[in-house]
Amino acid sequence: MTSPIVWQDAFDRATAAAAPLGLAVKDILAQNLDQNTAPWVYFETASASAGRLGMGEIVDEETGQIWLHLMVRRGTGAIDAITKRKALSVAFRVPVAPLPAGLFYDDQGFDPPDDDQTGNWVRFSLMVDYRYQDIVLPAS
């Protein structure tokens, strides 16, 4: 499960970082099916685990990854894509806005494009690890 607070904060950060680059950020589940003519970013999350921090604790910790898949037209060269992916990365390393309480962005990973990928678009992916701790109150 991905908490809505995590999803919204990461989506907003990605969108703010992508705007000056002329990139649209699209929810992977709400994407439109129009024909893209310019690079864009698919946004998705993948939760790794969620559970109590300790016996009897009311704090729950969720860990997972934010995925930003930068889609670039084949034949344009790697340096522009790497530059854009780096700018997206910075948004999670040097936040310009305060993080929601309990949210931490940690390590990052960079998935290179697949040389065997067919079609006109190539994917450069950025993975951002996160931790989110929130209070789970007992049902009354």
What are the structural domains of the chain?
4-135 (3.30.2000.10)
Give start and end residues of each alpha helix (H) in 28-116: 78-93
Compute the distance between CA of residue 129 and CA of residue 66 in angstroms, rounded to an integer. Answer: 6
pLDDT of residue 74: 87
CB distance 2 to 45 below 8 Å: yes
pTM for this predicted structure: 0.86
pLDDT tens digits, the chain, 140 residues: what are they?
Answer: 578 999 999 999 999 999 999 999 998 777 666 677 789 999 998 877 777 666 667 788 899 999 999 999 888 888 999 999 999 999 999 777 889 999 999 999 998 887 777 788 899 999 999 999 987 666 66
CB distance 66 to 132 below 8 Å: no
